[in-house]
Structure 1
Amino acid sequence: MLKKILLALAILLSAACVAESDVLEREVGDFDLKLGTAPTRSMAQGLVRPTTAGAFHGGLDLTHASGWYVGQWSPSVGLSEGSQLEVNSYLGLARQPFDASLGYELGLIRYSFPEVGGRDHNEYYAGLNLAGSRLGAALSNSLGRTDSTLLLDLGALKPIGVGLRMKYANHALDEPRYLADGGSVRVYNDWSLNLSRPWLGIQLDMSYTGSSLGGPQCGAYSGQNVRCDGLLMFRVERPLY
């Protein structure tokens, strides 16, 4: 309980420091320090992010001029009823060794649940940025399953200016999930495709998601998509000011 209180005080202090913004940034020698009430970093070219925030949340990120970085983010302090203390800690290296058109990244993020046994797990990730196109890969070993994911973001394709982003994931369960019809599921895949384009101040988005499961098999689905079966969505967004 003392750990929760100290962590909550640290989060409230960082929130007070960033009252006008989600992130407070300072230079400390060769380091860039960020304190925030929202995650300040995504990894593997946007594929890996610290988990979604709960009622009490906050964290810090420290980056060295050489490209090494370390950070910790708590999406939940576990003070509210039904919530658990969770801490995401990460360490990585992001560099652009030649010029701004080529860069790479690799690292590890640790998801810790001090109050719940057996839920701690690691996620390994790597990313590549080449002339505006991004490629990310991640491998996660959590309780009872292994998940591997690939992300390809080609940016705005010339000459039509349509942004193309694709994601493909493989999910392998340690033990088969048995279904009511007598079948079972142990390995399955899912994917997503997103097309986007700005037009007259409006952002147009179209996305399609799907998986290798269908019908009764969807009862075993737990992947990156909201739904197991195919889903096509359109979105039109325009800022008011």
Structure 2
Amino acid sequence: MTLPRISAGRHAATAALAAAVWLASATPVLAQAPADAADAAVHSFSANLALASDYRYRGLSQSSGRPAIQGGFDYSHASGFYLGNWNSSISWLGDSHPDVSAPIEMDFYGGYRHAFGDSGWSTDVGVLQYYYPGSYPDRYTSPDTTELYAGIGYGPVTLKYSYAPTNLFGLADSRHSWYADLSANVPLGFWGLTLNAHVGYQKVQVAEASYADWKLGLTKDLGHGFALALAYLDTNADRAVYTSAKGRYLGRATVWGSLSKTF
């Protein structure tokens, strides 16, 4: 996530791990088949890989308008509890200071989801830790960020609120910032297309740093776990605040695309 880096709904190893887990669970062991089937109903593992034209988070570019490689894995329990990790290549930290080397974002999260029968209503609560391994100069504000989140959904529509008890993505004195996200992912019923719409508002506890972002796009199911996404993204982020040290405005409107694979 890029906030004023000026003072600013997932890699191959995780996919390999998830594939190994999948292969191990798929190996037929006839004597244990009933137990394995019951276990599979309780525990679920998945992995994902993606190539995106730009890593955009809350409307802001994390990779300076360049392609990003992303991937992660997820575990979920039949009770509703889940854990996961998601990773992406980034460049905003290196762009912010010549002595910073931090090319990867690693996200770790866990929470609980619950669906209220066939009513269409659901809830999701959890915690998300953004971690940026690398080397930083002395007195550089850590970009590592913790957020608590809670969401409620009805059918294809979700409203989510995220709150940061820590500084927000390396911005000093930004504790208690929050983000509100209203999203809809509506299957269109033809050609395997899903309509994706989103509007969000990032409140930052620093003058002139708050902004809104929005998105409208389509996702095409290509089969066999592949999906192609195309969207228009934009923000009203203050250009004076969200321009990188290299002179690139990170909130500019763009047409964005990605190719992803789930396992």
Q: Deviations over 1:120-146 (max 9, x none)?
A: 212233333323x31131425323243
1:85 and 1:187 map into 2 onto residues whose CA distance is 25
2:131 and 2:198 map into 1 onto residues whose CA distance is 29
2:231 and 2:88 map into 1 onto residues whose CA distance is 28
Residue of structure 2 in register with 1:15 after alignment: 16
Residue of structure 1 in register with 2:124 after alignment: 105
2:196 and 2:151 map into 1 onto residues whose CA distance is 17
2:196 and 2:75 map into 1 onto residues whose CA distance is 31
| Mapping 1:194-209, distance limit 5 Å | 194=217, 209=233
Residue of structure 2 in register with 1:127 after alignment: 151
1:206 and 1:35 map into 2 onto residues whose CA distance is 23
Residue of structure 1 in register with 2:181 after alignment: 150
1:14 and 1:195 map into 2 onto residues whose CA distance is 25
2:250 and 2:105 map into 1 onto residues whose CA distance is 26
Is it true that 1:93 corresponds to 2:117 in the alignment? no
Q: Deviations over 1:108-127 (max 9, x none)?
A: 11112354572221223333
Residue of structure 1 in register with 2:30 after alignment: none
Q: Which amino acid aligns with 1:90?
A: Y
1:229 and 1:123 map into 2 onto residues whose CA distance is 25
In structure 2, the CA distance between the partners of 1:153 and 1:32, relative to structure 1 (3 Å rule), is same
Residue of structure 1 in register with 2:47 after alignment: 36
CA RMSD, Structure 1 to Structure 2 (Å): 4.9
- 3-state secondary structure, aligned to 2:118: coil
2:43 and 2:16 map into 1 onto residues whose CA distance is 18
- 3-state secondary structure, aligned to 2:49: coil
Structure having the larger proportion of residues in strand: 1
Between the two proteins, the alignment pairs up a number of residues equal to: 186
* TM-score calculated relative to the size of structure 1: 0.53
Match of 2:76 among 63, 68, 78: 63
1:220 and 1:129 map into 2 onto residues whose CA distance is 33
- Report if the CA contact (8 A) 1:61-1:71 is conserved: yes
Q: Which has the higher contact order (CA 8 A, sep 6+)?
A: 2
Shift in Å, 1:228? 4.0
1:166 and 1:13 map into 2 onto residues whose CA distance is 28
Match of 1:72 among 73, 85, 101: 85
- Report if the CA contact (8 A) 2:68-2:88 is conserved: yes
1:110 and 1:195 map into 2 onto residues whose CA distance is 29
Shift in Å, 1:209? 4.4
In structure 2, the CA distance between the partners of 1:13 and 1:147, relative to structure 1 (3 Å rule), is closer
- 3-state secondary structure, aligned to 1:220: coil
Residue of structure 1 in register with 2:215 after alignment: 192
